[in-house]
Amino acid sequence: PRARPFPISSQMPGISGAKTTRALRDAGYDGPIIGMTGDPMGCPERNEFEAAGLSVCVDKDNSGIARILEEIRAHALDGEDA
């Protein structure tokens, strides 16, 4: 079975999105991880989050939400033949 998209926030209670993403990748998860952040492009926190192993990183705004939905739909359609 294919892995499903995993949306994750950059800032969560108790652990950062970057640490969670690295832990998922280290545990062998190779499915899509869609990062969501309010941090601006180029800031150290966003750079760390993106470098942790995200498949894509989007802003927490209307365009980012639309992008997340596109990613999930595309992944769902890719899996129809499976």
**Between residues 17 and 70, the one the model is more confident about:** 17
Q: Are 52 and 22 in contact (CB under 8 A)?
A: yes
Query: CA–CA separation, 53 vs 24, rounded Å?
Result: 9
Question: What does the pLDDT look like over 5-41, one tens digit per residue?
Answer: 889 999 989 999 999 999 999 999 998 999 999 998 8
> pTM (2 decimals)?
0.80
| Residue 70 confidence class, pLDDT cut points 50, 70, 90 | confident
**CA-based angle 38:39:41, to the nearest 5?**
120
